[in-house]
Amino acid sequence: MNTLLLKDNENDINRAGEILRNGGLVGIPTETVYGLAANALDGSAVKKIFAAKGRPMDNPLIVHIQAIDDIERFDLVSDFPEKAKKLAEKFWSGPLTMIMPKGSAIPDEVSAGLDTVAIRLPEHKTARAVIKAAGVPLAAPSANLSGSPSPTTAQHVINDLGGRIDAVVDGGECRVGLESTVITLATEKPRLLRPGGVTVEEIESVIGKIDIDDAVLNKLADGEKAASPGMKYKHYAPKAKVIMLKGSDSAYIDFVNSNSGAHTAALCYDTDSDRLNVPTFPLGNKNDCLSQAHMLFNSLRKIDEHPEIRLVYARCPSTEGVGLAVYNRLIRAAGFEVKDLEKL
Ligand code: AMP
Ligand code: MG
C-alpha cells in the first residue's frame, strides 16, 4: 500500500475525511502525539488499526470527537456523569481522556469488549477538522508500531507505519509530546489511570480528590489485572538498557563520568550536557516539565538510531505536575530500574 502524505490544508483534510468515511486508516496530528484514526462506529475499519500497529486486541482505543455534543449525537456513552461534564467544560478541548459507561454505538473492537469507552476532544485544530470532515467520531490510538515510542512528528509515523496505512496528515510537531491524561469516571471514585498534560492538581481543583492507580508509579505484579489494559504492556523501551539516576546535578554528573564506557550515553537536562564526557540526548530543561514531555519520545527514538549505544543513564524527573507523566513514561522505558545516587 502506498501511504499518502497529506498537508494541513482544506483540500487534503477533505481527502482524509473521505478515506476515513470509506473505512481507511489515516495518521493525524494532535496536541499529545500523532494518532492512527479510523471510523469509530465501524468495527471492521477499527480492526485494521490493530493489524497495522501490531496492537493486542484486548487494548481498547480512545474515541476522538470534535464537539462535546458528539457524545449524545452519536450515542457514545450510556451515562455522562456530572463530574465528567465539569471536567469537559474545563479541560476540553485538551489532553484529557475520560472513561465512561459505553453507549450502544460503540463496537466491541473499540472498547476491547469492556463495558466502558474512552473519549477525548483534542485541542489540535487539524485533528478536529479531520473528525469534522469524516463526519463521524474517530477511534485513534498512538500512530506507532506497538512497543515503540509514540510518534510526535509525521516522519515518525511514516518510519513506523509507512506502507501499512492509507495516509498521514502532516501537522508539524506535537505541542505536548506525551499521550493524554486518562481518568475513569465509571468507578465510584474517579481514578487516574495514566498521567498526561492535564495534571492531577488541575483535575482535583475541579472535582476534588481522585485516586491514583497503582500502575501509574509501580510495576504491576505478575498476574495482577490492569485497570487500563494498556498499562500491562511493556511500553516505550528503546533497545539500549535505560537506568534512571535519582540525585543532585553533581551526583549525576560524577556518576555518569566515572561509570561510562564506549557504549554508554546520557539522557539529560540541557545544563548537564557540557559537563558529561559521553554522548548526550536532550531531556529538556530541569525546571520545565513541559519541555521534558516535549523532548522525551524524540530522544528515545534518536537513541534507537545508534545501535552502538547499549546503556543510557537518564535523569530522574520530578513527579510534580506534568513531571508525573514524564516519570511514568521514562520509568517504563527503564524497565522500572531507578538508582538512588544519595544511597550508594
Ligand atoms: P493510546 O491511545 O495508544 O495511548 O492508548 C489508549 C490508552 O487508553 C490505553 O492505555 C488503553 O488501555 C486506555 N483505554 C482506552 N479505553 C479504555 C477503557 N475503556 N478502560 C480503561 N482504559 C482504556
Ligand atoms: Mg499507544
pLDDT in tens, 220-276: 877 777 787 777 665 677 889 999 999 999 999 999 999 999 999 999 999 999 999
**Cell 476491547, residue?**
112
First and final CA of the chain: distance in angstroms?
Answer: 54
- Average pLDDT value for residue range 205-224: 90
Lowest mean pLDDT among 58-72, 153-167, 213-227, 328-342: 213-227
111 lines ligand 1 (CB under 6 A): yes
Ligand 1 atom 20 nearest Cα? 228
Ligand 1 atom 14 nearest Cα? 60
141 lines ligand 1 (CB under 6 A): yes
Q: How far does the centroid of ligand 1 lie from the alpha carbon of residue 263, in Å?
A: 36
User: Is 176 a residue whose pLDDT tops 80?
Assistant: yes
62 lines ligand 1 (CB under 6 A): yes
Q: How far does the centroid of ligand 2 lie from the alpha carbon of residue 76, in Å?
A: 21
User: Which stretch of DSSP H or E encloses residue 52?
Assistant: helix 43-53
CB 6 within 8 A of CB 167: yes
User: Is 65 a residue whose pLDDT tops 90?
Assistant: yes
Q: How far does the centroid of ligand 2 lie from the alpha carbon of residue 259, in Å?
A: 33
Ligand 1 atom 12 nearest Cα? 230
148 lines ligand 1 (CB under 6 A): no
Could you say which ligand is closest to the alpha carbon of residue 97? 1
State how beta strands 35-39 and 26-28 pair: antiparallel
- Ligand 1 pocket: which of 49, 59, 98 to mutate (most atoms <8 Å of CB)? 59
Of 133, 228, 241, whose CA–CA distance to 179 is shortest?
A: 228
- What percent of the chain is predicted at pLDDT more than 70? 99
**Across the chain, what does the average pLDDT equal?**
95
Atom of ligand 1 nearest to the CA of 55: 3
What pLDDT, on a 0 to 100 scale, did the predictor assign at position 168?
98
User: Is 161 a residue whose pLDDT tops 90?
Assistant: yes
pLDDT tens-digit map of 276-313: 999 999 999 999 999 999 999 999 999 999 999 999 99
101 lines ligand 1 (CB under 6 A): no
Q: How far does the centroid of ligand 2 lie from the alpha carbon of residue 136, in Å?
A: 22
- Average pLDDT value for residue range 117-137: 98
